[in-house]
Amino acid sequence: MALLEVSNLGIAFGGLQAVAQLDLKIEKGHLYGLIGPNGAGKTTVFNMLTGVYTPTEGNIVLDGKDITGKSPDLISKAGVARTFQNIRLFNDMTVLDNVKVALHNQIRYNMWTGILRLPSYREKEHQMNREALRLLKIFDLDKEASLKASQLPYGKQRKLEIARALATNPKLLLLDEPAAGMNPNETEELMNTVRSVRDQFGIAILLIEHDMNFVMGICEEITVLDYGRVIAHGDGKAIRNNPKVIAAYLGGD
């Protein structure tokens, strides 16, 4: 059984059918690409997978558990993490705290332990700091740990978002345009990072990206959306040569 099984997923906003009859199967440890022209409904799919939107039809099953229509915090607990197309960091908090917030459900102690500073407070906080710094180090952000998130340059903010998502200990990581606004060198570096994250954490990664070199370079499997429907599916080569995909991108019919 696949890690994520999406069947017949659809959502309508009023009369507008944004996504329809979407089927996705993502195996454990796979790098999976979701591509399509602007407005194809890619981010809407992410929003349904993470509970921001409630699908109007279909099912989402993660690791054998139905998570359709659950609230975002429960879906996060179930093991789906994400980044956002337009970066959403906790801007007034430090880089370290951004990651520590995401450790919320991994390392726990209750409100009173914090208020009364019981012995386990120190222990758990140290554990959190260690874990957060370990994650930051992977993205070469450990030196900036005490800066505010908003003080980071753009590329590092994108990385911090990934580090934060990983802190929730996900089984599936969704990356929404991770390479947006990056130059070729940064994109190259990001590709290596994404690959090594997959190898190190053994998680599946589903990503939306417009940079075709990026997608073709790292994704083992790709699904193409157009007007909310799947128009193609396969590996990079199959997609590249698919006439429907070419037509969708070039605007023909």
Partner 1 sequence: MFRLKNLRKSTKSNLITFGIVIGFYLVIQLLSALGMLSSSLSGQLVPICAYVILAISLNLTVGILGELSLGHAGFMSVGAFSGTIVWTTLYGQVPNWLGLLLAFVVGGAVAGLFGFIVGVPVLRLSGDYLAIVTLAFGEIVKNVMNACYLGYDSKGIHFSFKDAASMGMEADGTTIINGAIGITGIKKGSTFILGIILVILTLVVILNLINSRAGRAIKSIRDNEIAARSVGINITKYKLMAFITSAVFAGIAGVLYSLNYSSLVAKKFDYNTSILILVFVVLGGIGNIRGSVIAAALLTVLPEMLRSLNDYRMLIYAIVLILVMIFSQSPQVVAWRKRMVEMFRGRFSKRPQAKEVQ
Partner 2 sequence: MQFLSYLINGISLGSVYALIALGYTMVYGIAKMLNFAHGDVIMIGSYVVFFAFGSFGLNPVLSIVLSMVVCTILGVAIERVAYRPLREAPSLAVLITAIGMSYLLQQVAQLMWTSNAKSFPSVVANSSIFKPVSLFDGQLTISAETIVTILACVVIMVLLLYFINCTSAGHAMQAVSEDRGAAQLMGVNVNATISLTFAIGSALAAVAGALLCSSYPSLQPTTGAMPGIKAFVAAVFGGIGSIPGAFLGGILLGVIENLSKAYISTQLSDAIVFLVLIVVLLVKPTGLLGKKVNVKV
* 76 binding partner 2? (CB under 8 A): no
Q: Give, as one character, the DSSP assignment of residue 68.
A: T
Max CA pair span of the chain: 67
**List 1, 16, 116, 250, residue binding partner 1 (CB under 8 A):** 116
Stretch 17-56 residues interacting with partner 2 (CB under 8 A): 43, 47, 52
Q: What is the Cα–Cα distance from 194 to 176, expressed in whole angstroms?
A: 13
Cα end-to-end span (Å), the chain? 36
Beta strand 31-35 with 221-226: parallel, antiparallel or unpaired? parallel
Least distance from partner 1 to the Cβ atom of residue 43, Å:
12
Tell me which residue has tokens 């390479």. 179
* 212 binding partner 1? (CB under 8 A): no
* Residue whose CB is less far from partner 1, 159 or 164: 164
Q: What is the Cα–Cα distance from 2 to 220, expressed in whole angstroms?
A: 15
Token pair of 39 as six digits:
């407005």
**List 13, 54, 72, 241, residue binding partner 1 (CB under 8 A):** 72
Part of the chain binding partner 1 (CB under 8 A), chosen from 32-40, 59-67, 163-171, 229-237: 163-171
Q: What is the Cα–Cα distance from 96 to 11, expressed in whole angstroms?
A: 37
* 210 binding partner 1? (CB under 8 A): no
**List 3, 19, 40, 50, residue binding partner 1 (CB under 8 A):** 50
Look at residue 13 and give the partner it binds from partner 1, partner 2, none, a contact being a CB closer than 5 to 8 Å depending on partner kind.
partner 2
CA dihedral 210, 215, 217, 221 (to 10 degrees): -160
* Residue whose CB is less far from partner 2, 34 or 218: 34
Beta strand residue intervals within the chain, DSSP E? 4-13, 16-26, 31-35, 57-62, 65-66, 80-82, 172-176, 204-208, 221-226, 229-234
Residue ranges binding partner 1 (CB under 8 A)? 50-52, 71-73, 76-77, 81-82, 84-93, 96-97, 100-102, 104-105, 107-111, 113-117, 121, 124-126, 128-130, 133, 142, 145-146, 150-154, 157, 164-165, 167-168, 180-181
User: Which residue ranges make up the site for partner 2 (CB under 8 A)?
Assistant: 13, 43, 47, 52, 84
